[in-house]
Amino acid sequence: MLRVLLVGDDPLARGGLAYLLSGEPGLAVVAQADALGAAAAVERDDPEVAVWDLGADPLGWLERLGDLGESGPPALALLLDEEAAAAALAAGARGLLFRDVEGGRLAAALRALGSDLLVFDDALLPPLLRPRPAPQVQAEPLTPRELEVVQLLAQGLSNRRIAESLGISEHTAKFHVNSIVGKLGAQTRTDAAVRAARLGLVLL
């Protein structure tokens, strides 16, 4: 049985997903959690794949998921529209489907994820594969240290993990992340990672 974790802000939506998957062979929903409880659910229930229901505030959700995309099981993100697709990939999602996906297709996608495959709704591929526009010029260039930080930020690492990777304090890592967000005119750290990629500073 493929062990599945459902992560979402709305308990009713999580329950709906659990119901969709309940009749699918070879799958078992072993845990449900919101963003704050997701890491504990991974530790406690050892899921093999995860579903991230990003809801109506996908960028806020991806911000709250912290380093789950780095340390947790491979995740399938459910999106309302294509706007958050690149941000979900930057946060560590390995699959992208729309929220109205039917149960059989969702189950097939999770099985593929469990076999180390990437999964995308065909409607999401064109915007993801579209050639990037020419790099824009940012208002204020990033320092060499900020360039190091933004590479790790684009990998979905938390401030703590960035600090550990660079041998700096978590407070200093947070300072650099806030500086990057400000210089790039971003709203969140995930938005900053996407903007940095569009500027050619990192590769998603």
Domain containing 175 — which CATH number? 1.10.10.10
> Is pLDDT at 121 greater than 70 in this prediction?
yes
Beta bridge partners of 2: 27
Residue 64 belongs to some domain of the structure: yes
Choose between 170 and 110: higher pLDDT.
Answer: 110
Cα–Cα distance between 201 and 40 in angstroms, integer?
33
Residues 108 and 190 in one domain: no
128: closest CA among 96, 85, 88, 99? Answer: 85
Residues 24 and 119 in one domain: yes
Choose between 111 and 160: higher pLDDT.
Answer: 111
Residues 105 and 52 in one domain: yes
> Which of 96, 129, 162 represents a domain boundary (last residue)?
129
Residues 17 and 62 in one domain: yes
Cα–Cα distance between 201 and 195 in angstroms, integer?
9
pLDDT of residue 134: 47
Cα–Cα distance between 198 and 186 in angstroms, integer?
12
161: closest CA among 150, 170, 172? Answer: 170
Residues 84 and 41 in one domain: yes
Residue 203 belongs to some domain of the structure: no
Residue 137 belongs to some domain of the structure: no
**Per-residue pLDDT tens for 132-168?**
554 455 557 888 899 999 999 888 788 888 999 999 9
Residues 158 and 112 in one domain: no
Grade residue 92 by pLDDT with cuts at 50, 70 and 90. confident
Domain count, the chain: 2
CA 131 to chain centre: 22
pLDDT of residue 66: 61
The HSE-up count of residue 71 (CA atoms within 13 Å, CB side) is 14
Residues 168 and 103 in one domain: no
Residues 116 and 151 in one domain: no
Cα–Cα distance between 144 and 199 in angstroms, integer?
16
Residue 139 belongs to some domain of the structure: no
**Phi, psi dihedrals of residue 184, rounded to the nearest 5°:** -90, 0
Does pTM surpass 0.75?
A: no
Range of the domain at 181: 144-198
Residues 153 and 65 in one domain: no
